[in-house]
Structure 1
Amino acid sequence: MSYGGRPHRGGRRRNRDDYDSRPQVVESPEQKLKSAIWKLGEVDVVKELLPLVNLIHLESKVVQLSSIAEAFRIAVTEQPYKIPHYVSLLRLLYDPPEIEGAEPSQLARQLLDEFWKGFQGYLDQNLWRELRLCIHFFAHLAVAKIVSAHSIVKLLSSFIAVLDEFGVSHGRAKKAALCAAEGLLIAGPVVKDSPEVSEIINAIHAYNDMALSQKWLVQPFVLLHSDQILLEHADEILTSAVDALKAAQGSDFKDTFDSFPRPYAGHPELDPSQHPPFEIPDVLVPPEVIEVDGLETEEGEDAHVKKEEWPEYFVHLFDDDITPSPKTCLGYAVRSALLDITDIFEVNRKECARLLMECPKWTSPGTFKPRPGSPESEDPTPGPNWQLESSVIETILGSLFVLPESSRKSVYHISLITELCKLSPTTIGPAVGKSIRKLYSSLADGLDVEIARRFAEWFAVHMSNFGFQWVWKEWISDLSLDTQHPRRAFMRRAVEFEIRLAYHDRIAKTLPPQMQDANAFVISDQAPGPKFDYDDPEHVHHDAAQSILNLFRGRAKAEDVVAHLDTLKSTLETSGTINIDSTVRSIVVQSLLHVGSRSFSHLLNAIERYLPLLRNLTGGSLTSGPSSNAEAKVEILTIAASFWKLNRQMVTIVFDKLMQYQIVDPTDIVSWTFINGSDIADTTGSVGPLSLSAFEWDLMRAALDKANGRVMIARRKVAALRKEDDETRAKAKARVGESMEVDADANLDEPPATENPALATALKAFASLTREQKAAFSRTLEGFVASLAPLPSATNQNPSAQLVLDAAEWKNRSSWDKDRWNAWETWGWYRHFCRTYAPYLRNYTTTLSTISFSRYEDIKTPAVDILKKTWNVATGQDA
């Protein structure tokens, strides 16, 4: 057979010799040098310094200084735990061993110049983490007398100027303040006599006090009856920086010597006459970039939504003698270093776990307790000797539980803890167990409901990675608590999440007999699955349902099914059935879900095939779009939720698909959640007058996110069409200009612009979706207000919502019944709603406030006051 001259690409299998004969990749001198700089300290940092100094001097003849400086910048910003040693490396570059032709002073100075250019690039791009870590580098250089003290003070003062900007966002101010605070903590010993030091500390302190109202809304532990900020069990990052600065200033910055490793302190000081200190140039922090797309909401505000940046609280699980307290200089430095490693190495959780366990290598001796069996354990160095494993787990969980949302996906934090357990199971395992017990014990002490939800999710996923082994018997005594008590609720949620990750029977076997009992309300006696009411042959509508099922299984056309429904309605009317339309909806929806219950693909295919039928059931026609029959939509939601009552995850999925195909609107789901949600969510048989649980919040959040997502997509489409339209008009103008040059008598007026049909349609869709978004937020706010502060004339009173706001009641919470705990959880979800969707709510502040709070102008109760205060803080009206 001929291949027409083409080489045969098949043939024999390659063997090992083929691979060995491949050309080896040869690193360039630049790559080798960069790699050597980045790998500093992997074996013995002290022994590696001088050889690396010699290598830099030798390779600087062929490698550009900009490349060497780039290696330093990358090392500083991606390996911040090595910063003191890179300062020591730079210090040795001033006085290296004698090398022929080397110019030590010029080389080190030029490297600093190039490093500064890179810092300026970070500044222009507002890369705050890189800026903060570079400031650490400059501060250590100042202590080493390589950078002048007054220039580092000027650099820190330039970041403090950000706090005085008009309308500065909290996120920008917080990042700038942390840059200045951490730089001052490091450089304090050499700049303490500067008068600007007190000004810097006072400016950060003043801004921190100004942000007090925002802190009230995102603290992890809540006292609804009080404005008190609870700091016993949580640390706010900016407040911690202020406390550390105050403590350092009180000791005249003597404590900072032990807080940060300073390996360069053993080198002789540079001679100022030969090596004058490097002067950091004056800088101006660029202003905040505000994106404007020109689209307006109905309230006239720009529709571009910027994510709100709140104060960051980190849960403090252990005592200060076990884990670092960030209120001290050393504790703040250690916690900040752990957070930086966790943040930077998100791309590689295995490497992150390794570096976290090697943290003592880069801290001062005595910071962490020596490992058992090591030589240091017999004669430990004086110091706090904190527990490394507990400190690491506390830091990761603190980052996971930041409100209103963490800066990283929860799956990253959960996976990182799993990697740590695999890396050192004998030491990390007990720390994880202690953390779980600490969090569990604090559930009824005011722990925020969103943190409790994340805790249950982490607990379940972590258990799934280790065989679902947990000492459940420790919590048997809590079965005597009220069924809605936070600890009982946590057990149910955790077990429900575990079942999603495995299966019912396996999880049931991991529980003690007391918890397997149906009356314990920990696990259902039935496995998750559909509940088809018409499956029983004795049911009065069994035959009718079977006829519908046969049509669905035979893939009958939607028109044929509708025609059959007309016949079915006549039969039901003849038999005297009441509420014929509701009965038909129930039969059809349950039958459709029954067909789709086999898998997700079956569900999607069933819904897509019978979209016209579903629209017909909500009052629309087979060919029209979504109808406005709200009652029919709510009824369909109730039927779907009842069908999947034993598998609440499927309720969320089905609701999402009904929204996706526009059978129901987000507002319909929000309305359903407040009216009917508790009936479906309840698994204890003790639904109170108000019961908004994590399950119902998940439904509500999905609906609001869907409304927001649609507006965002529509806005992007309008922006793209508008850009395209502007380009078309510009080309038309250019052509007119060319024609005018040929014909001087041509009309100089601009030609009439032709309307862009696609743009007009997109603008109408954007306006419609914006109204839908506002309606969803309005209905949510109305639902919370009506539930937590019902008017005196309301028939559905909820006195528990008022009682949980009383200080005396809170002290007696051990005797609370289900109504009080339900009310407390609903208050928690209201707070979370306001802080999570604050950027969107601010677009409709006036309208939503008028609709929801106008009826309460003359009513003064604790519930109304807290409702309004929470709303005002979230929308920026109570700074």
Structure 2
Amino acid sequence: MSTSHHGGGHRRKRHDNNYRDDGEMHDTAEQKLKHAILRLGEVDPEQEVTRLATQICEQSSSITPTVVEAFRIGVTEQPFKIPYYAMLLRLLSTSPAASEHETLQGPDFGKQILEDFWKGFQAFLDKLAWREIRLCIHFFAHLSVAQVISLPSMYDLIRALIVVLDEFGVSHGRAKHAVRCVCEGLMIAGRGLENDPSTNITDVVDAVRTYIQAEAKLKRLVRPVAGNFSGDVSAEVADEFLESALSALEIMRATGFPHHSDCFPRPYAELAVDGAVIFDLPSVLVPPEVIELDGLSPDNEDFIKKAEWAEFYIHLFDNDVTPDPTTPVGYTLRCGLLDVVDIFEVNRKECARLLLEYPKWTLPGTFHRAHDGPHETVVGKNWQLECTIIEVILGQLFLLPEPAHKSVYYISLITELCKLSPHNVGPAVGKSIRKMYNLLSDGLDVALADRVANWFSIHMSNFNFIWVWKEWIEDLNLPLQHPKRVFMRRAVEYEIRLSYYDRIVKTLPDQMQSPDACVVPPGAPGPAFEYDDPASAHHDAAQSVLNLFRGRARAEDVMTHLEELKNTLETTDSDQNINTIVRSIAVQALLHIGSRSFSHFLNAIERYLPLLRNLAAGGILTASGSSYEARNDILSAVLAFWKHNKHMVVIVLDKLMQYQIVDPTDVITWAFLRAGTDVGGTSYQSCNSFQWDLIKGALDKANGRVAIARRKLAVLRKEDDDNAARAKANDGATMDIDETKPGR
């Protein structure tokens, strides 16, 4: 029974613990404490830790589960606070000073928290939640430095992870996560582990180095810049993630893992330690990898595919502007920023705010922002925060073969950063665009070049399409197919999709508006019905077909009319050309009906699927004798109708493949052989890069069908196995019954 009221009358009051008498909800003591732990560091982290420890110790023992849950959430969702959570746990584990009041503080309380926290870590391990596993290892490593966790048990945990590299047939994705956990754990706790006589870091580092050197074959196809794979420009503008981790680890080891490292704060370093460590990490085994490729959902399957490749991050700025990611501090800062970008993907506004506040969680002097004014120079530091953030985000966006998240997330995140700090982030974005534009001449991968054009156009659309195009006027002297000129055409094409033709043209210099520049399309995007002109040779025939479509005639009636049209059409060409003309008339007339909107297009396609299938099979025009030529004619008719809007060609062909009117192999063959020549005209039309979209779309469609077939096959195999097991069980039961008959 509902207690809500929709109208007059008095409001019913709630009197449970979560509500005040006025009906408004308030937090319980446990919720307040949990929020206090999660909000740690809003002003001054070190001062707040001491006050928070006192607040926790004043509670009753029943508060422990709440504290553990807050630690778990804070460590895995706010990793930039991990050193301060380690300090908090160190304080909670310290024996309290003599006092009249008994508190929770002491080794037993710290041990209880860690025991419960370990259960959560074991759950992450069982699920192979690698990001949470890695961040928990950060927490354990800091606690080992703070002398809360024993160094031998920390070393045993790292050894358990390094064993993954020795597994037979270990996937690169699994090994990559294990390597990150090991390297980052050693970077934090390495000094103590190096000095402990029961540990041997050399074996661990050698195992990491051996694996990384053996996986060179995974790196060739995903380099962002073409090269001979032995140095050259590809090594100067990008670095592989695991190689950076190994480089940073070896540098730290060579310097003896300095206790006062500039990589991360150690606020617990000055705390007095009373007695021995309180906790030994239990022994663990990393669960085996579950291989169920046939039964994976599309999202999981895509994730596994991405994880199996090496990760190359592009350098956009010099090392005096952003930290070198192959150094300990550079690698640590990049990982920290990447974690924020990854975790807060669900809230880009919050992510942007946290990124701009990131210096709060780094050592003083790490970053210098332009509006900070005079500052004390720190040798080798004082990097520009905004440039570092943009470099990290774009490094993730420009990963091959695909970024971890949708491209639109990274693009919108940069937009939010510009809104929060336009005077500082804006110049960093401009410098990044210019850097990526210059890389086009150095062999930037074609997929990345297209991704840069897409990012550029969307970013410009959020800021009134304002860009200094005149900087690139001199590049109009380059050959027509030069990557920079292709980029200009592609970027303008994308901008027109996001706005209007006339508006975008006005933003360009006069030199780029010239037809000879081949930057701007010859006209606004729109349909081009070849037979709409009354002077056209087949205008009347096309109008008769068009009238049938407008009248929503049955597909069978249209087929009959097309057969009659073929027989009566007068032409001096061969029969094959007659068939091509009739197919072109039918397809273009159908597209003309659907050109008003996307919903009109879908309705037209779905209503006349039998007609399209008949056309593709050559069923109506039997004299052609070739379904291959029929499908090519359909594709060419689509291109002719949407020759001024190549994006619509991609959309229409995607639907034709979805409804199996044409096959992906048809589209790929046609794109290579005919898509660039079927429509004549200006050089702009013949040199655009929409063939890339056609081929990629066809490949994606084919791969999608393979994934669907594999999942269906997995279901059938499982059903077959279940049926076989059931039959075997029934046979066994029958045999048991037969064996009992003589004894009856």
TM-score (ref. length: structure 2): 0.90
Instruction: Quote the residue 1:312 is aligned against.
Output: 311
Structure-2 separation of matches of 1:60 and 1:681: 79
Q: 1:7 to 1:422 in 2, by over 3 A?
A: closer
Match of 2:388 among 391, 394, 403: 391
Secondary structure of 2:596 counterpart: coil
Residue 629 to residue 613, structure 1, CA distance change in 2 (3 Å): same
Distance across 2 between alignment mates of 1:304 and 1:128: 17
Deviations 1:544-588 (CA, angstroms, capped at 9, x unpaired) = 111111111111112222222222222224776762111111111
CA distance in 2, matches of 1:6, 1:139: 52
Matches within 5 A, 1:412-431: 412-431=409-428
- Counterpart pick for 2:451 among 451, 454, 469: 454
Distance (Å, rounded) in 2 between the aligned partners of 1:101 and 1:521: 77
User: In the TM superposition, what are the counterparts of 1:131-170 in structure 2 within 5 Å?
Assistant: 131-170=133-172
Normalized against structure 1, the TM-score is what? 0.77
Show the counterpart of 1:553. 550
Aligned to 1:678: 676
**Counterpart of 1:870?**
none
Aligned to 1:271: 275
Distance 1:116 1:127 in 2: 14
After TM superposition, the structure 1 stretch with the greater mean CA deviation from structure 2, 610-619 or 462-471, is 610-619
| SS at 1:679 equivalent | coil
1:495 is the counterpart of 2:497: no
Q: Is the Cα–Cα contact under 8 Å of residues 681 and 696 in structure 1 kept in the other structure?
A: no
C-alpha displacement of 1:204: 1.2
* Residue identity in the other structure for 2:427: P
Structure 1 378/15 Cα, relative in aligned 2: closer, same or farther at 3 Å?
farther
Distance 2:364 2:304 in 1: 44
Q: CA deviation at 1:51?
A: 2.4
Q: Return the letter of the residue paired with 1:143.
A: V
Cα distance in 2 for partners of 1:147, 1:319 equals 40
Offset at 1:608? 1.6
Distance in 1 between residues matched to 2:740 and 2:117, nearest whole Å: 61
Which residue number corresponds to residue 403 of structure 1?
A: 400
Deviates more, 1:672-681 or 1:119-128: 672-681
Q: Structure 2: how far apart are the matches of 1:20 and 1:125? A: 41
Cα displacement (A) at 1:30: 2.7
Alpha carbons of structure 1 residues 20 and 527: separation in structure 2 relative to 1, 3 Å:
farther
Alignment match, 1:637: 635
C-alpha separation in 2, matches of 1:707 and 1:184:
44
Is 1:505 the counterpart of 2:498? The answer is no
Match of 1:189 in 2: 191
Rounded to whole Å, the distance in 2 between the matches of 1:251 and 1:305 is: 37
- After the TM superposition, which residues 586-625 of structure 1 pair with which residues of structure 2 at under 5 Å, given as runs? 586-621=584-619
Relative distance call for 1:305 and 1:100 in structure 2 (3 A) is closer
Q: Classify 1:561/1:381 alpha carbon distance in 2 versus 1 (closer, same or farther; 3 Å).
A: same
Whole-angstrom CA distance in 2 between matches of 1:102 and 1:619: 80
Give the 5 Å matches for 1:836-875.
none
TM-aligned CA distance change 1:224 to 1:675, over 3 Å? farther
| Matched AA of 1:664 | V
Distance 1:565 1:25 in 2: 71
SS in 2 for 1:173: helix
Shift of 1:50: 2.3
- The match for 1:172 is 174
Say which of 660, 663, 666 aligns to 2:664.
Answer: 666
Match of 2:128 in 1: 126
1:373 Cα deviation after fit: 4.4
Moved more, 357-366 or 723-732: 723-732
SS in 1 for 2:239: strand
Given residue 352 of structure 1, which amino acid in structure 2 is its aligned partner? C
Which ranges in structure 1 are unaligned for 5 or more consecutive residues?
A: 296-302, 748-879
1:716-772, Cα deviation, whole Å (9 max, x unpaired) = 34444555566667677777877888887999xxxxxxxxxxxxxxxxxxxxxxxxx
Distance 1:223 1:734, change over 3 A: closer
Distance 1:469 1:13, change over 3 A: farther
Structure 1 residues 294 and 649 mapped into 2: Cα distance closer, same or farther (>3 Å)? closer
| 1:102 Cα deviation from its structure 2 partner | 3.5
The range that moved more, 304-313 or 402-411, is 304-313
Matched with 2:218 is 214
Note if 1:696 corresponds to 2:691. yes
Q: Contact conserved, 1:495 with 1:522, CA < 8 A, in 2?
A: yes
Aligned residue identity for 2:411: I
Does the residue aligned with 2:313 lie in a helix, a strand or coil? strand
The farther-off stretch of 632-641 and 573-582 is 573-582
Aligned equivalent of 2:263, options 259, 262, 286 = 259
Contact 2:386 2:425 in 1 (8 A): yes
- Matching residue's letter, 1:248: M
Counterpart CA distance in 1 for 2:303 and 2:350 is 35
**Distance in 1 separating the partners of 2:259 and 2:483:** 42
State the AA in 1 paired with 2:551: G
- Does the CA-based 8 Å contact 1:248-1:256 persist in structure 2? no
User: CA shift at 1:659, angstroms?
Assistant: 1.0
2:111 counterpart letter in structure 1: R
* Equivalent residues in 2 for 1:717-796, closer than 5 Å: 717-720=712-715, 723=718
Which of 703, 709, 712 aligns to 2:707? It is 712
| 1:41 matches 2:38 | no
Q: CA deviation at 1:619?
A: 3.1
Deviation at 1:15, TM superposition (A): 11
Letter in 1 for 2:314: V
What is aligned with 1:474?
471
**SS at structure 2 position matched to 1:473:** helix
| SS of equivalent to 1:81 | helix
2:81 and 2:474 mapped to 1: Cα distance? Answer: 49
Letter in 1 for 2:205: I
Deviation at 1:357, TM superposition (A): 0.3
- Following TM superposition, by how much is the alpha carbon of 1:27 offset from its aligned partner in structure 2, in angstroms? 2.5
Shift of 1:708: 2.3
Give a deviation string over 1:378-400, Cα, whole Å, max 9, x none: 44555510000000000000000
How far apart, in 1, do the equivalents of 2:581 and 2:286 lie?
66
Distance of aligned partners of 1:255 and 1:214 in 2 relative to their CA distance in 1, 3 Å threshold = farther
Contact 1:656 1:702 in 2 (8 A): yes
How far, CA to CA, are the matches of 1:714 and 1:746 in structure 2?
48
Question: Which residue of 2 is the match for residue 814 of structure 1?
Answer: none
1:216 is displaced (CA, Å) by: 2.1
Number of aligned residues: 724
Identity of aligned residues (%): 55
CA deviation after TM superposition for structure 1 residue 6, in Å? 12
After superposition, the Cα gap between the structure-2 partners of 1:127 and 1:713, relative to the gap in structure 1 and judged at 3 Å, is same
CA distance in 1, matches of 2:170, 2:6: 65
Shift of 1:458: 0.4
**CA contact 1:185–1:256 (8 Å) conserved in 2:** no
Contact 2:528 2:644 in 1 (8 A): yes
Shift of 1:684: 5.9
- Which residue, 414, 421, 432 being the options, matches 1:435? 432
The amino acid that maps onto 1:631 is E
Which residue does 1:288 correspond to in 2? 289
Gaps in structure 2 of 5+ consecutive residues:
none
Q: Following the alignment from structure 2 to structure 1, what is the Cα–Cα distance between the partners of residues 142 and 716?
A: 52
Matches within 5 A, 1:528-607: 528-573=525-570, 579-607=577-605
Secondary structure of residue in 1 paired with 2:53 = helix
Structure 1 residues 236 and 524: alpha-carbon distance in aligned structure 2, compared to 1, 3 A threshold = same
Q: CA deviation at 1:44?
A: 2.0
Which structure's relative contact order is higher, taking Cα pairs within 8 Å and 6+ residues apart? 1
Q: Deviations over 1:261-288 (max 9, x none)?
A: 011112113322xxx3422222221221
Deviations 1:810-843 (A, max 9, x none): xxxxxxxxxxxxxxxxxxxxxxxxxxxxxxxxxx
CA distance in 2, matches of 1:13, 1:511: 64
Taking structure 1 as reference, are residues 233 and 462 closer, same or farther at Cα in structure 2, changes over 3 Å only? same
